[in-house]
A and B are shown apart, each in its own frame.
Chain A
Amino acid sequence: MIETATGEILSSAEASEEKQSRVFRGLYGIRTAIWEMWAEFRHEWKRITIASLISPLMYMIALGWGLGSMVSTGDRPYIDFLVPGIVALSSMNAGFTSVGMSFSTQRLYERSFDQVLISPTPIPAYVFGKMVGGALRGIYTGVLILLLSIPFGATININGWFFLVILLNGMVFASLGVLAAILAVTHADISRFSTFVIAPMTFLCNTMFPVEKMPAVVKEVINVLPLTHASSALRAIAYGGMPQWYNFVVLAGYIAAFVVLITIVLIRKSNL
């Protein structure tokens, strides 16, 4: 019995001696990381979907219906102001959480990242795949929220640029998630990161009220944060206009900076 099976399980031993270039490995590595996130999503999609709808729903009820009736935001209803902000903050959360939580679990607790490190997949490619996967999760969440906003009577303009901004925003925070995950010493570090970095941005960055209403100093700080630019860009498009060019530059700049930081950490850290 062992004899026959022996032949089988090692049969293709010599035949499969693939010669693959570094570029191919890199692209395949990106795909592998995205596939891994897709497999994760397939198992968890119900939970992910419900979880990503809860707080947006609360914001829309509490702020859109509740507070919104008392707020004036120019000539458009407050819900139109609010929805792009919620799309921005939700795609931020989706990008960060989908990568940060899962990657740090894989690295610190389940230790399946060990298999990535020893595999021939280039680590930067794998990590880049995670960023793309996180951005796609941002888009998924963004679409859910747009659907959710329909019964709330939001009338906003959506086009390709809208999704490009979500993609960039998701990528900014997915790369922040990667960075947090590779720097984390314990799993709790990720939650802490969430509390200190992600949560404040949720409320401050031009999401629920205009930055203009803030004191000057605070405004300066808020204006350099990436989520501010994502919200502003999304709102501009939602109102039927075009975002400022520097919105894109800032988002792209953050992605580039995080990629550089991630690369440095990956090179420096001998024990991932």
Chain B
Amino acid sequence: MIKIDNISKRYPKAEKYALDKVSLEINTGEAFGILGPNGAGKTTLMGIITTLILPTEGNVYVDGEMITRNRIDIKRKVSLVTQHVSIRRDMTVSEVMELAGRLYGMPVKQIKARTKDILEFTGLYEKKKQVARGLSGGMQRKLMICRALLTNPKIIVLDEPTVGLDPHSRRKIWDLLEMLKQKGITILLTTHYIEEAQSICDRVALISNGRASEVNTPDNMISRLGSYTVDIYDGITTKSYFFDTKEEAIGFAGDIPGKTKLRETTLEDVFLDRMGTELGEKVK
């Protein structure tokens, strides 16, 4: 279990707190999503969990033990896929993998064997001698995920891992995450694609302005808002109205002249609703 206990972070010289007393608990083997608008503090939180960033206040516990930069035994079990590309551009694909393996204290033989398996699986194997500088952005991101898997993490932290990937590669990553889930690996994921969180995550937390406002399963969040949505376009903007049952929704839509659309509510609706945009309102 990962316990995020009252974490606050203020960057040097920053006026406001990037994170303000955030507490969360993530169960072992769970896929946990963190959603929030840009600047909400997601990357900061991911950094603190992996000791990349040190918190101003609060602690993070993994299985009851506090994680610090010195806890090499805990760090051994954690991998991070950063939001920015964080690979040496002058190294080849297999060297990037080897460096990661060595940093995690793996024997070179094991690094080589696992690198081959993982690169073959993700289709990067034929690029193994290519220098990272020459890879496309999508390939670089894929390589970061391969690197994270190399060390056999128990916890994998992914900060917007599918940004900039084409739909096909994105699906492949989702399959991969699904597979990791089945293996009992704890996944922490921030993402722009809310559909990604909805399909992969067991639970999600919404954060904005450095505060975690709500933690729940995607289904619960959706049913609390109303499982059915009617979108009404009035010629200028689209407004969404949420209903618990399909009948209610149909009844509502039938009374409205003009362009209406009935559909199932998604996590994105919840997200937009909670983030205070003026797009929707709940009719009860």
Contact = CB atoms under 8 A, between A and B. Distances in A.
Contact of B87 (A29, A44, A112): A112
Interface string B53-85: 110000000000000011011011010101011
Contacts of A126: 103
Interface stretch (A35-43, A149-157, A236-244): A35-43
Contact of B84 (A10, A35, A111): A111
Contacts of A261: none
Contacts of B70: 122
Contacts of A253: none
Interface stretch (A20-28, A76-84, A208-216): A20-28
Interface residues of B, number: 49
Interface size class of A (residues with CB under 8 A): 35 or more
A9 B114 contact: yes
Contacts of B182: 6
A32 B175 contact: no
B254 interface: no
Contact of A119 (B89, B104, B179, B180): B104
Contacts of A9: 114, 117-118, 121, 149
A29 B105 CA distance: 8
B100 interface: yes
A20 to B, nearest CB: 6
A271 interface: yes
B51 interface: yes
A118 B72 contact: no
A16 B88 contact: no
A116 interface: yes
A16 B152 contact: yes
B175 A116 contact: no
A2 interface: yes
B100 A120 contact: no
A264 interface: no
Contacts of B80: 114-115, 118
Interface of B: 11-12, 50-54, 69-70, 72-73, 75-76, 78, 80, 82, 84-91, 95, 98-100, 102-106, 110, 113-114, 117-118, 120-121, 131, 147, 149, 152, 175, 179-180, 182-183
Given A9-B149, A270-B54, 17 more contacts: A8-B121, A9-B117, A10-B152, A11-B117, A13-B183, A39-B95, A40-B90, A111-B82, A115-B80, A115-B147, A116-B103, A117-B51, A117-B69, A118-B52, A119-B75, A119-B104, A120-B75
